[in-house]
Amino acid sequence: LPTSKVRIKRKGVQPIPPRKEVLTKDDYIEWQISYQDKESGKPIELGELIRLAHEMKYITRDELCEIIKKYGDGSIKPFDKLFSIMRKGTQHKVYHDFTVIWEETPILRYDLSDGCYIEVALKHKQKAVGYQSMVYIYIPIQNVIARRPLVGRTAEEKEVVIWKPSKEHILGLIKAFLVASEDHQRDVKKLIGKITGHPCT
């Protein structure tokens, strides 16, 4: 759905309307994945994946705590504090009496072994000063299970596909949130503590 946190992007960059355009092998599902419900704080999406993976002993508490020790112990300056959005441009009028300015946005990219990748991008905060880190996972459409292969056709209305995340995806996303900002780091650490029964020391 256009209003959801999932979009289709060609080469992972250009958003396309999947019910109007024939999909190709260069198309990715972009998912702005959440980890907990804003109101209740209950694990959703990545949070639910962590909960299930821990419950099924697919990911151990030690593995989760090891990542927190490495990326979430306060020794790393968060991405949104270390980087900024830069502007550079021409002094002379190059477009109908206007000068042109380019904005450069820093993006962290974390490649996974199966063609998926995670990005952390910087945005200006909407209703405050400072920057906000956005976390996305990009999934090649060829990596999902559909009733009929997606490549070579348009998507159907409200079409549902299946994606099977591995340990690499889950741990990579945790890492991304830990470095993204102080708030995300605090939230994710608290959430993992709640899921595993006790916080990592």
Give residues in contact with ligand ADE (CB under 6 A).
Answer: 32-35, 134-135
* 4 contacts: CB under 8 Å, gap ≥ 6: none
Rounded to an integer, what distance in angstroms lies between the CA atom of residue 162 and that of residue 139? 11
Overall size of the chain counted in residues:
201
- CB 117 within 8 Å of CB 110: yes
* Least Å from the CB of residue 35 to ligand ADE: 6
Comparison of 68 and 135: residue with beta carbon closer to ligand ADE: 135
Comparison of 134 and 161: residue with beta carbon closer to ligand ADE: 134
* Least Å from the CB of residue 96 to ligand ADE: 37
* Least Å from the CB of residue 131 to ligand ADE: 11
Comparison of 25 and 109: residue with beta carbon closer to ligand ADE: 109
Helix (H, G, I), strand (E, B) or coil at 146: coil
* Least Å from the CB of residue 24 to ligand ADE: 25
* Least Å from the CB of residue 8 to ligand ADE: 17
Comparison of 84 and 132: residue with beta carbon closer to ligand ADE: 132
* Token pair listed for 146: 């559909």
Burial 147-170 (b: 16+ CB within 10 A, else e): eeebeeeebeeeeeeeeebeeebb
